[in-house]
Amino acid sequence: MDALDILTNLDHCFPYFQPVFSADEHRVIGYEILGRYNGGGQVISLGPFFQDNNIPEEYRLEVDNTVLAKALELAIGLDPDVLLFVNRDADLLIHDSGEEFLQFLLKFQEKGISLERIVLEIAMDESKDEMDHLLNYYRTFGIKIAIDKLGDESSHLDRIGQLKPDIVKVDLMPLRSMNPPPAYQDTLYSLSILARKIGATLLFKNIEMIYQLQFAWQHGGRYYQGFYLEKPLSYFIPRDILKDKLKEEFHEFIVYEKKKLESIFAITESFQVKLQEILTKNRKSMNFEELLKSLSKDLDHVALRMYICDDDGFQLSPNMFKNDGKWELQPAYTGKNWSWRPYFLENMIRMRNDKKGILSDLYCDIETGETTRTFSFPLNAHEYLFIDLTYDFLYQHDSLL
């Protein structure tokens, strides 16, 4: 489509709306406004036009405003709590210190669209100091900020922490294949923790299959958008259109997750019982090295490394480590301190109080590079046993992976 055709046919430019659904109510909470052009009966996306830097800014802005004005005009009839996601090029906003856009929105505030319903979507890579000031200025009017187009890297985490957006949009496109890059999940995990810390809501977009919806739900996503739910439309839909369907699907997710958690709980319990048995058997020889040797026989294919620490995290024993299929004692580890590890002291206190072992989450072992979990177990109030589990063992109990 020729840019000139678009510019000379502004009446052919109009908005599409893609609904955003929420996890807590299973209903439409907002719409992203998208630009479309009707060229000879064919509806095409204005996306490429808006992103074309060869087209002078004022022309792009004119088309953008035409679409937005039509969209907001239509949105006047919506429930007063429905959010409106507006895409804007940060450079175009900064152009006039963001005043034109603000005045534009204020005009519609008079018609009943409060600024608190506007979610301004900007791309992360466009952010600079000037941008921060502008966004903070907009915020004083109640406008919400969403970060879209995160890129594939976690390198934006610091910028997100700095900007403290209301909403972070996460693209699920990389999850289209059943085997996304392993780093993808870890990055998302960091992102979900950061979002929680700064009070931002995660919106997962490009959800095209049910497993992507499940993934979004599992990773702390509150808002969802994508063809699996609804494609962009020229009109608004009943808010509860998917309520029953989503309720049913989320029920399945919940059942699956609970089953998994119950199985992890059962494995933790069986560890607890097994260790108590072994310890009762070894009660007389409570020398740490002998205990670890005895454990290495009983947990031969289960453990990859074992050691004992005191309640300040100082290692009291050598490592018992399985090297090339053979158990060996590694005395160099005696005396090291592990209290700096995340959750270490917290888990220690929990074990002491509950007098029970704890199974950690999945993580990557620094030395072996293997995916593992650690079972920690209180020998008494001051001594704690740590057992790093083999990948084979996790693999045999697939709920552990």
Binding site for Ca ion (CB under 5 A): 87, 121, 148
Angle at 308 between CA 305 and CA 309, to 5 degrees: 125
Least Å distance between CB 65 and Ca ion? 17
Least Å distance between CB 88 and Ca ion? 10
**Alpha-carbon span 46 to 7, nearest angstrom:** 11
**Residues 312/339, Cβ–Cβ less than 8 Å:** yes
Least Å distance between CB 86 and Ca ion? 9
**Alpha-carbon span 193 to 215, nearest angstrom:** 16
Helix (H, G, I), strand (E, B) or coil at 226: coil
Q: Which is nearer to Ca ion, 167 or 267 (CB)?
A: 167
On the 0-12 / 13-18 / 19+ scale of CB atoms within 10 A, 6 is buried
Q: Which is nearer to Ca ion, 165 or 357 (CB)?
A: 165
SS3 assignment for 116-150: HHEEEEEEHHHCCHHHHHHHHHHHCCCCEEEEECC
Q: Which is nearer to Ca ion, 148 or 166 (CB)?
A: 148
Least Å distance between CB 34 and Ca ion? 8
Q: Which is nearer to Ca ion, 87 or 154 (CB)?
A: 87
Q: Which is nearer to Ca ion, 87 or 201 (CB)?
A: 87
**Which residues, at least 6 apart from 295, have a Cβ–Cβ distance to it below 8 Å?**
278, 303, 306, 320, 385, 387
Residue in this structure with the two tokens 């009762």, named with its chain if needed:
280
Q: Which is nearer to Ca ion, 225 or 317 (CB)?
A: 225
Least Å distance between CB 205 and Ca ion? 7
Least Å distance between CB 68 and Ca ion? 13
Side-chain-side CA neighbours of 117 within 13 Å: the count stands at 22
**Which residues, at least 6 apart from 80, have a Cβ–Cβ distance to it below 8 Å?**
112, 114, 117
**Alpha-carbon span 326 to 372, nearest angstrom:** 19
Task: Name the residue whose CB lies closest to Ca ion.
Answer: 148
Least Å distance between CB 206 and Ca ion? 10
Does the CA dihedral 297-302-307-311 come out positive or negative? negative
Q: Which is nearer to Ca ion, 33 or 359 (CB)?
A: 33
